[in-house]
Chains A and B, each alone.
Chain A
């Protein structure tokens, strides 16, 4: 494990340009479990007020990267600075200004809604009076204002997730880390979480989230890093990533005679074809000739849509299952 060694001067002195505003900086981060290098040399800087999304298939190293940044595990290589403090040596101090929403529900089942917030606030050394003064706002934010005395078991999945978010805000943090904040939620609950995250961004909070919902990343994140096998394989705003990595139009085709049509027409009219099971994805800058051809073909069904982040993601990380 890493000793509390003096940090190299490059990290201690404020860097130039946008890095000066960085609330989180990682340089050459590596973490190995056994033979597997889960994080294999990752560098990034996250600005104040930014929403940064880590995307990747299961096992890409997203959660490990978050745990490294929080100083919960020690890296095998690289440097991390969180809120101006070297991590992991001074991670505990850095976490005073950090909120964390973990992937797994770990609210205290023995406590009421209110007690969960109160007890968690005490871990930050906050006096009870300070926490109690913040309670109404936090309960309101979580949309559980009338449920302060409810037991956790009585809450819906969406309420519990919002309460986890409120719990992460009990110390009024500068940065909020979220590991898959909307996994397992229904669309209504997901939209409420997105709305709350936008409110946080409007208050100039910094958000670092992991997700495998492209829609979530596309809607919320200013900047995205796509991670696979421990490395960043693409980085940029959602729009930049789509422009840089993929043709703007997609036509999804399935039905009878798919093979014949792909060979004769699709391969000629689209700039790129991708086959996944019984569907062919045609990527192109001009969909009109493809659609004209598909209108003439009998037995084929198609869907024409603009390219999105999911297309980029699948192009870069492949379509095979990651279990």
Chain B
């Protein structure tokens, strides 16, 4: 086994564990895709066309066009978060699936990596689904928007890693409400998902710039308009930093949790 505070040991042994989650998903793929797609689509269309009717252009585009990028980021974040909170917690704590896996020649580090990659994979599907919808509706037309597909995995890894760290600390499902209420929901409001950040008071704007989701929307929004984002390296670096910190914290906390 690996010393508690050692860096995560990455290995391809995560693949069979990822395949296990994938096999479960194929059995429930219908409802899963529906929920991942329907919920954000309804919000996007409802707010975009409903609220959009009262709004003049936002940042020079229709409100629904503005909202498309936000919905892609928000939906990817939510899928990765739900997967690493509720689903991973079920596998770890309720079904004891992880306990079974680590009896095989698979290390806990491999399981944690598999959960991260799995959550990112599933969240990519969410992001992709929204992209298909906005293309189909003609809300987004630029081929450059396809480059969003390079950003979406990064968003998934970032929030998957943070979610795993929360799961590592969680005594029960109830604990996740704190994370959603205190972290995810305020972040969604402060990250340019539903409205542009430049109208916010300065202190809030500074706070917003520290949040990973802001950097995600700053990458994705210009792409949906057919423009190249600015400060790409900065945004990617912030998302990666959260991902790396979250993954390290999750690995250490889970090693401690499962060794007690």
Give A contacts to B, CB under 8 Å: 1-3, 33, 70-74, 88-89, 91-93, 95-96, 98, 100, 102, 104, 106-111, 115, 119-120, 122-125, 167, 171
Q: Is B23 a contact partner of A123 (Cβ separation < 8 A)? A: no
Q: Is A123 a contact partner of B3 (Cβ separation < 8 A)? A: no
List, in ascending order, chain A residues with CB within 8 A of B99's CB: 102, 104, 106
Q: Is A92 a contact partner of B259 (Cβ separation < 8 A)? A: no
Contact among A2, A108, A124 with B105 in the assembled complex (CB-CB below 8 Å)? A124
Identify whether the interface residues of A are mostly helix, strand, loop, or mixed: loop
Q: List CB contacts (< 8 Å) of B61-119 with chain A.
A: 95-97, 99-107
Contact among A72, A74, A122 with B102 in the assembled complex (CB-CB below 8 Å)? A72
| Nearest CB in chain B: distance from A168 CB, A | 8
List, in ascending order, chain A residues with CB within 8 A of B97's CB: 106, 108
List, in ascending order, chain B residues with CB within 8 A of A74's CB: 1, 259
List, in ascending order, chain A residues with CB within 8 A of B95's CB: 106, 108-109
Closest-by-CB residue of A relative to B98 is: A106
* Selected A-B contacts with CB under 8 Å, 23 pairs: A1-B3, A2-B3, A3-B3, A72-B103, A88-B1, A92-B107, A96-B105, A98-B103, A100-B103, A104-B99, A107-B100, A108-B20, A108-B100, A110-B28, A115-B23, A119-B23, A120-B100, A122-B19, A122-B20, A123-B105, A124-B105, A125-B13, A167-B100
Q: Is A120 a contact partner of B104 (Cβ separation < 8 A)? A: yes
Give B contacts to A, CB under 8 Å: 1-4, 13, 16-17, 19-20, 23-24, 27-28, 95-97, 99-107, 258-260
Q: Is A95 a contact partner of B3 (Cβ separation < 8 A)? A: no
Q: Is A110 a contact partner of B106 (Cβ separation < 8 A)? A: no
List, in ascending order, chain B residues with CB within 8 A of A107's CB: 100
Cα A49 to Cα B4 with chains together (Å): 35
Cα A88 to Cα B99 with chains together (Å): 16
Q: Is B105 a contact partner of A102 (Cβ separation < 8 A)? A: no
Q: Is A93 a contact partner of B105 (Cβ separation < 8 A)? A: yes
Closest-by-CB residue of B relative to A107 is: B100
Closest-by-CB residue of B relative to A87 is: B1
Q: Is A106 a contact partner of B100 (Cβ separation < 8 A)? A: yes
List, in ascending order, chain A residues with CB within 8 A of B2's CB: 1
List, in ascending order, chain A residues with CB within 8 A of B104's CB: 95, 120, 123-124, 171
Cα A96 to Cα B106 with chains together (Å): 9
Cα A199 to Cα B97 with chains together (Å): 28
Cα A98 to Cα B19 with chains together (Å): 22
What 13 additional pairs, Cβ within 8 angstroms, besides A1-B1, A119-B20?
Answer: A72-B102, A72-B259, A74-B259, A92-B1, A93-B105, A95-B103, A108-B97, A110-B27, A115-B23, A119-B23, A120-B100, A124-B105, A125-B16
List, in ascending order, chain A residues with CB within 8 A of B102's CB: 72
Q: Is A73 a contact partner of B259 (Cβ separation < 8 A)? A: yes
